[in-house]
Structure 1
Amino acid sequence: MITTWRWLAPLDGPGAFHMAADVAIAEAIRAGQALPTLRFYRWAPPCVTLGKFQPAEGNVQLDACTDLGYDVVRRPTGGRAILHDHEVTFSIIIAEADLPGAGSNIMESYRALGRALVDGLRRLDLPAELVDRNASARAADPPSVMAAGNPACFAAKARCDLMVNEKKLIGSAQLRKDGVIVQQNSLPLTIDFPRWDDVFYRSDWEQVMRAGAIGLHECAGRAIPYGDVVAALRAGFESALDISFDDGALSAEEEQRARELIPDYAVLTTGTIAAPTPSNF
């Protein structure tokens, strides 16, 4: 039976607002006040996000971020750091009971949502696959990938990754709390590998990233417009999860709650945290 989700069209805005908005939506869903939600957003200005338990010290060069005009924020989800700039970013917020196959653990919900991501990417003629990697497979990774000092999501192999040609294409991090799933996803259109050297503490950063990560345009062999990627992913969710979307917007209550939560996620801001605006693409 087809179920209905809420679709939130892309917004441009600061990272701290986006992190807080995902949590505000999760609270609304938990209270029975919102439908399962798929939302897309872009970063204004570019931003480094840290995993929920990841310290900025020793991982991110805050002075360099200030000089570049980048914000730094903490995600409500786990995982490692990501530099967000030329990418398609989206979050899925849904009650566990509303996601068929989600089960009772994070890996099962990764797989359930991963099927929708694979469906969407294949609509762009990309040979995407969801790769499950057991402990022995991960132990065989090079030390540069497995090292505890490796701060970034795209240079680290997880138990369940969205891969194209053996390289990581989408970085995902998830939170499950009080019956609600929040999964945040980063799909780079292009990766400015030298810039990662600038913002993270690591001397061989560009080499490590090139070995394990890839941008959408590179693996497609062509530039794909942002709007086409968003449309393909939307169709992938509809098909793989047997859902339909109602076009919506953040409620006034969700937006107000997000504003209240911003201090919980802001680490470094380079200017006033402005209200988000509809993306122009």
Structure 2
Amino acid sequence: MKWRVWMAPPCLGDEAMAWDEALFLSEASRPEGTPVLRFYTWEPSTLSLGRFQNPEAGLKPNRPSVPVVRRTTGGGAIWHDRELTYSLACHQEHLAVSGVKASFELLCGFILKTWQSWGWSAGFARDTDPQGRWGEVTAACFAGTEEYDILVGGKKLGGNAQRRQGKAIFQHGSLPLDLNWDTLRQLFRPEDCPSPDHVTDLFQQGWQGTPRELADELAKQFCSHMGVDAEVWEPGPTEQSLFEESLKKYRDPEWTLRGYGAVRDFNHIASP
């Protein structure tokens, strides 16, 4: 089987989310299609909220004014700064497993195998911390732990989320190269801010490459882990049209605010 692999250029937060949705919608409409794996970075740095998250939850009222978007997936907020993000869209038939948990284990496996191939002490949280309190609702994604989060040296590295529509599956994840703790403390309330005692990044683990170098390594490990071939790809007219339509939603402040009450300072969640 082949997977399309798109090494996408850096983009604005609303564009990043619109492309994620466009790829998912394209895949959902074509069961016979070829699944896709995308890597990208954020420019400028952006705060993303979970699909069902109150935009004020866990954030300081006097936080800096930064670009904010709302993801199509659930979970807590993420400050996308010095990181690589991946997203993928496929159908259930493209996977050798069924069920949400099994698909998380499979689709996060290429990340785990990458860290392990570098000699890092890495494992899924359910295996390395069997007594852990998984699934707690947290305002910041990195402050909580799920069963199939990956721990390196006992600390969480990155976060992943999934959405489904019929038999179509979408998943994306954040892989921080170098967490900016000063900015995180400015954005999140102390009780909700991720802690360096429990969270790590690639630079802290001794890796000093670029986002593109990381993407190349992850793509190679993905193909090996999934037993598939990679096909270098860029979006065509169908995906471009879906992107342009989705972008209207992600650039609409009402999408960011809808249903979650008043916000003290509207500028804090305006598009860039």
* Residue 216 (structure 2) aligned to one of 214, 231, 234: 231
Cα drift, residue 65 of structure 1: 4.2
Letter of the 1:50 counterpart: L
Equivalent pair of 1:65/1:71 in contact (CA under 8 Å): no
- Tell me, yes or no, if structure 1 residue 56 matches structure 2 residue 55: yes
- Tell me, yes or no, if structure 1 residue 91 matches structure 2 residue 87: yes
Report percent identity of matched pairs: 26
Letter of the 2:203 counterpart: H
Task: Report matched runs for 1:84-233 at 5 Å.
Answer: 84-101=80-97, 103-104=98-99, 106-132=100-126, 137-139=131-133, 146=136, 148=137, 150-200=138-188, 202-204=189-191, 208-219=194-205, 221-233=206-218
Cα drift, residue 76 of structure 1: 0.7
Letter of the 2:14 counterpart: A
Structure 2 residue aligned with 1:277: none
More strand by share: 1
1:134-160 CA-partner distances (Å, limit 9, x unpaired): 998234x8xxx95x5x31111101122
1:62-104 CA-partner distances (Å, limit 9, x unpaired): 76342xxx31111111111100010011101111111112x13
Structure 2 residue aligned with 1:251: 236
* Residue 14 (structure 1) aligned to one of 12, 15, 18: 12
Cα drift, residue 58 of structure 1: 3.1
In structure 2, relative to structure 1, the CA distance for the partners of 1:93 and 1:63 (3 Å cut) is farther
Separation in structure 1 between the aligned mates of residue 2 and residue 246 of structure 2, nearest angstrom: 28
* Residue 23 (structure 1) aligned to one of 8, 11, 21: 21
Cα drift, residue 48 of structure 1: 0.7
Separation in structure 1 between the aligned mates of residue 161 and residue 74 of structure 2, nearest angstrom: 6
Query: What RMSD in Å do the two structures reach over aligned CA positions?
Result: 2.4
- Please identify, of 246-255 and 163-172, the stretch whose mean Cα deviation from structure 2 is larger: 246-255
Equivalent pair of 1:22/1:91 in contact (CA under 8 Å): yes
* Residue 70 (structure 2) aligned to one of 43, 60, 74: 74
Equivalent pair of 1:17/1:259 in contact (CA under 8 Å): no
Task: Work out the number of aligned pairs and report it.
Answer: 255
In structure 2, relative to structure 1, the CA distance for the partners of 1:24 and 1:117 (3 Å cut) is same
Which runs of no fewer than 5 residues in structure 1 stay unpaired? 272-281
Cα drift, residue 222 of structure 1: 4.1
Equivalent pair of 1:38/1:92 in contact (CA under 8 Å): yes
1:34-75 CA-partner distances (Å, limit 9, x unpaired): 421110111111111111111102333576342xxx311111
Separation in structure 1 between the aligned mates of residue 14 and residue 118 of structure 2, nearest angstrom: 31
Separation in structure 2 between the aligned mates of residue 257 and residue 227 of structure 1, nearest angstrom: 26
Per the normalisation by structure 1, the TM-score is: 0.83
Separation in structure 1 between the aligned mates of residue 166 and residue 60 of structure 2, nearest angstrom: 34
Per the normalisation by structure 2, the TM-score is: 0.85
